[in-house]
Structure 1
Amino acid sequence: MGVAIKGDAVYVADTENHLIRKIDLLHKRVSTLAGVGEQGTDKEGGAMGPEQPISSPWDVALGTAGGEEDNVLWIAMAGTHQIWALFLADGKLPKGSDSKAGTCVRWAGSGSEENRNNAYPHKAGFAQPSGLAPAPHEPWGCLFVADSESSSIRTVALKDGAVKSLVGAERDPLNLFAFGDIDGKGVDAKLQHPLGVTWCSEQNLLYVADSYNHKIKVVDPKAKQCSTVAGTGAAGDTVGPEFNQSYFNEPGGLCVADGGRTLYVADTNNHQIKVLDLDSKIVSLFPISTDCTDAIPTRSSGTAKAPLLPKSAARKHMSAVAVSAGQTLTLSLTLTLPEGVHLTEGAPSCWTLSAEGNEWLLEGQTLMGDISDLSRSLRVSTKVPLALKTQHPSDEPSITLSVFVYYCLDSGSACLMKAASFTQPLHISALAGEEEVTVAFAHTL
């Protein structure tokens, strides 16, 4: 769910795989630093990362523990309700023993799901910690924790691991139902399932993604004051002219930039990144586009990788068509967009033609191309091989045309990707036939 970046390295909390991964941007390589790929139940740790089972890591943050700067990766271990440490270099936890690089070990939290504060980190209790934000400099010297199931923001002292409450929840450590939507001080403030936190060191403020309240809030840790920044409290996707007229839908993450002037919000259920200008109080959408690298207008090599068809894609199985060896088969597809949308400029809308299980039909290759204009039909042609591989194909070999279309609402409030596949079975005859066979069909995205 969460990431931390240093130089060319991106550290990833791979939640559902129960792994901590590292992406090397320079060498384009992904490696596993901790976890075995299955959910663990160990609440102590201490093994080398790739040998240490872990449970639903939700966020990661770089920190320093008894060694060189950024020698440890703090982990919000939601599955065991704890905060763990993965040593990237030799170091030492507060009041702990020396740890070698690669060691993955529990730092704070007993493993019981509760909202228990304690000066001894192993006796404290968390409830699905989901977000981390380090504030290493004095007078803070702590790790801020979004403790989602207790609906609170907690702190873990970097000098000794003491766990304290900042805002939210209530004084009974076993009451995990003290949620609400109230701006206030300390325990009088109420949140509901906060997921993400980010620290603005320039202004000494902590921003919170208050997920189930559909709001962005800010905490002044000195005053222990929690206040609403943006959102109405209702789920929606309207980008209003002002913060209090803008809607979110379970925002899950955020990042502060530009010296505290800009806040980027992962508006999860709206599938958007929203940008909050904290000076002008204006919300806008962050434009997202990617270069089209997979879709090329000519026949690809056999090793080219086509985009993967998502589970949500529409899949249609066509009626078989009779073709002859050496004949050209053309698939003519008319695609229609919904009303009020347009193709996303610069996005990699494309088509692919494949023959899984009967690769000989396309000479072991994949046809790929761009989709840039839907005002006319998409025409994809291929020639049926003269030499039929009768010993390999099924009784009805088939080819599949897949489309991947990116489009945005004309209102600018959202962009989507829709995919669909059309499988065309073939009755192939060795006898000569017409020069070309065209199959025409249509689909509304």
Structure 2
Amino acid sequence: MISDTGNSRILIIKEDGSILRQIGGKKLGFKDGSLDDAEFNNPQGLVFQNKDILFVADTENHAIRKINLKNDSVETVAGTGAQGHDRQGGKIGKQQPISSPWDLCIYKTPDMDLTFHPDGNPPVRDVLIIAMAGTHQIWALFLEDTVWWKCKKHPAGTCICIAAFAQPSGLALCAKKKEVYVADSESSSVRRLSLVDGKVTPVVGATGNPNNLFAFGDKDGALFDAKLQHSLGLVATRDEKFVFVADTYNHKLKKIDIVQNSVTTLTMPPLCVPSANPPGLCISSDNKRLYLVDTNNHLIKVAHLGGSCNITKITKVTLKKLQDTRQVDKSKYQVLSKKPVNVNNDGGKLIITFNIEFDAGLGLTEDAPQTWLIDLPDPAWSSVPKNGNDVKNFEVVISVPPKKDAKENFVDAVFNLVTCTSETCLPKSFIVRIPICYTDKGATSLNNKSNISLGPSSVKS
């Protein structure tokens, strides 16, 4: 899974980059429902509970969302959709306001109520651990009725604060050690939180004074002698010997020995371009590939790991669009070609306004379905919104990726309208095609207006 934050969508991909499914992304918003209809707002951290259930830190919606791949559904399990200021919690589900959740992990803990488990084999409960960046805390969302610290009972759906930090961002669970490592970005450090008793201890970075937010830098070493700058992403190796940290403002990937509490900078192979602002990390099940979100370059990179988890080479994941059986058959549509738009070779943002005008007594048929959708060259492109039914005058924002080949690219707006005169109804199906040309001197931010004139017997642009 990839949390494509800028496009407010979740992508399910295969290891070769083939996209299996897009969840959300048609429109920025806060909406539960099917995987196609759901809306997100700058989602960040993701975690699987099992092969069918995925939780999402929907950051700008201030909510935790649950994706059920088996039931084809998205639902909100915590948060109201508005930023909360509660620093204690205790409410259940959508009644509990939260603030800018950033990352997630799931801790499996034995239920501590031995009264009901005299055989000494209590059931294991799932607890969702949340880096709540907005209130500078770590919270827990109990996915089942759970008796936890100090034998306190928490009903399913309860969301509470369990620890305070400077600004927790990334989380890395070490289940065997019953610890979660926290990228505390504002203190430029990594700290550990015991999931047995809530004790917080230093790992690397910062100083002995947790209130000092200016002890940042770029230095390998142990404990407080080491220096980071705005650490964000974390991931632990499968044997829980090392934790990788995305040291974002230093534009570096570093490795923490969690036994020695020491950090070293990982050397990139000579042919690799250093990552620019790497915030997110994920490791493969065989411990041989580290997936790195390279935000400023809009890439997913793969660091191939050798002995002692050092990098041997770096490749990148190229997103590939799978054949979609629901794809539009464009042979049935009239195509209206517009003037080409020149975009910079580095890509950019294209804002397109579509305006439909009606002639000779033609208008939209009342209560009939009126739809449009934006069809793009490949998954590296995105449109917000992606479709809609307000067809007379609307605006879309197209994210154009950097040039990667010489082929022609088109942005197609596909319209399916039902129109009528005073005498008859006339369906209108047409495509407004805008060619995109890459040039060295093209702009990175453009506005384009597309006017369409509809008459009873014609469609003109």
Count of aligned pairs: 355
Residue in 2 aligned with 1:228? 265
Q: In the alignment, is the contact (CA less than 8 A) between 2:89 and 2:159 conserved in 1?
A: yes
Aligned-pair CA distance for 1:95: 2.5
Q: In the alignment, is the contact (CA less than 8 A) between 1:241 and 1:283 conserved in 2?
A: no
Mapped to 1, the partners of 2:291 and 2:77 lie a distance apart of 28
Q: Secondary structure at the match of 1:40?
A: coil
Q: In the alignment, is the contact (CA less than 8 A) between 1:403 and 1:420 conserved in 2?
A: no
Q: Does 1:173 align with 2:205?
A: no
Mapped to 1, the partners of 2:416 and 2:207 lie a distance apart of 71
Q: 2:138 aligns with which of 83, 90, 94?
A: 83
Residue in 2 aligned with 1:206? 243
Aligned-pair CA distance for 1:315: 2.1
Q: Which has the higher strand share?
A: 2
Q: Secondary structure at the match of 1:281?
A: strand
Q: 1:99 aligns with which of 136, 154, 157?
A: 154
Q: Secondary structure at the match of 1:187?
A: coil
Q: How does 1:314-329 map to 2 (within 5 A)?
A: 314-315=351-352
Q: Secondary structure at the match of 1:269?
A: helix
Q: 2:329 aligns with which of 282, 297, 304?
A: 297
Per-residue CA deviation, residues 187-215 of structure 1 (Å, 9 max, x unaligned), is: 11101111111011326110011111111
Per-residue CA deviation, residues 1-60 of structure 1 (Å, 9 max, x unaligned), is: 101002200101111101011000111100111111111111111111211111111111
Tell me which amino acid in the other structure corresponds to 2:421: L
Mapped to 2, the partners of 1:40 and 1:353 lie a distance apart of 31
After superposing the two structures, state which structure 1 stretch, 154-163 or 58-67, moved more.
Answer: 58-67
Mapped to 1, the partners of 2:64 and 2:169 lie a distance apart of 15
Tell me which amino acid in the other structure corresponds to 1:136: A
Per-residue CA deviation, residues 275-321 of structure 1 (Å, 9 max, x unaligned), is: 001126111111212335464124899xxxxxxxxx94332678989
Change (3 A) 1:197 1:297: same
Q: In the alignment, is the contact (CA less than 8 A) between 2:453 and 2:460 conserved in 1?
A: no
Q: Does 1:259 align with 2:286?
A: yes
Q: Secondary structure at the match of 1:171?
A: coil
Q: Does 1:52 align with 2:85?
A: no
Instruction: Choose 1 or 2 for highest CA Rg.
Output: 1
Q: Does 1:250 align with 2:277?
A: yes
TM-score (norm 2): 0.66
Q: Does 1:128 align with 2:140?
A: no
Residue in 2 aligned with 1:123? none
Residue in 2 aligned with 1:15? 59
Q: Secondary structure at the match of 1:167?
A: strand
Query: Identity of aligned pairs, percent?
Result: 36
Q: In the alignment, is the contact (CA less than 8 A) between 1:404 and 1:419 conserved in 2?
A: no
Residue in 1 aligned with 2:234? 197
Mapped to 1, the partners of 2:150 and 2:416 lie a distance apart of 72
Q: Does 1:424 align with 2:451?
A: yes
Change (3 A) 1:405 1:57: farther
Change (3 A) 1:164 1:402: farther
Aligned-pair CA distance for 1:347: 7.2
Q: In the alignment, is the contact (CA less than 8 A) between 1:4 and 1:11 conserved in 2?
A: yes
Q: Does 1:4 align with 2:47?
A: yes
Tell me which amino acid in the other structure corresponds to 1:128: Q
Residue in 1 aligned with 2:197? 160
Mapped to 2, the partners of 1:400 and 1:355 lie a distance apart of 15
Q: In the alignment, is the contact (CA less than 8 A) between 2:204 and 2:262 conserved in 1?
A: yes
Aligned-pair CA distance for 1:104: 0.7
Q: In the alignment, is the contact (CA less than 8 A) between 2:408 and 2:435 conserved in 1?
A: no
Q: Secondary structure at the match of 1:64?
A: strand
Change (3 A) 1:418 1:230: farther
Mapped to 1, the partners of 2:412 and 2:93 lie a distance apart of 51
Tell me which amino acid in the other structure corresponds to 2:236: W
Mapped to 2, the partners of 1:317 and 1:104 lie a distance apart of 44
Q: Secondary structure at the match of 2:134?
A: helix
Listed as ranges, the gaps of 5+ residues in structure 1 are: 110-125, 232-239, 302-310, 326-342, 360-371, 410-416, 440-445
Q: Does 1:36 align with 2:80?
A: yes
Per-residue CA deviation, residues 135-190 of structure 1 (Å, 9 max, x unaligned), is: 121xx331111101000000011211100010000112221011111011111110
Q: In the alignment, is the contact (CA less than 8 A) between 1:348 and 1:406 conserved in 2?
A: no
Change (3 A) 1:391 1:321: closer
TM-score (norm 1): 0.68
Q: In the alignment, is the contact (CA less than 8 A) between 2:246 and 2:254 conserved in 1?
A: yes
Mapped to 2, the partners of 1:268 and 1:152 lie a distance apart of 21
Aligned-pair CA distance for 1:256: 1.3
Mapped to 2, the partners of 1:353 and 1:42 lie a distance apart of 36
Mapped to 2, the partners of 1:344 and 1:98 lie a distance apart of 52
Q: In the alignment, is the contact (CA less than 8 A) between 1:168 and 1:187 conserved in 2?
A: yes
Change (3 A) 1:353 1:299: farther
Mapped to 1, the partners of 2:75 and 2:332 lie a distance apart of 29
Q: How does 1:407-418 map to 2 (within 5 A)?
A: none
Q: How does 1:342-421 map to 2 (within 5 A)?
A: 356-357=390-391, 387-388=420-421, 401=432
Tell me which amino acid in the other structure corresponds to 1:228: T
Q: Secondary structure at the match of 1:42?
A: coil
What is the Cα-based RMSD across aligned positions, in Å? 4.4
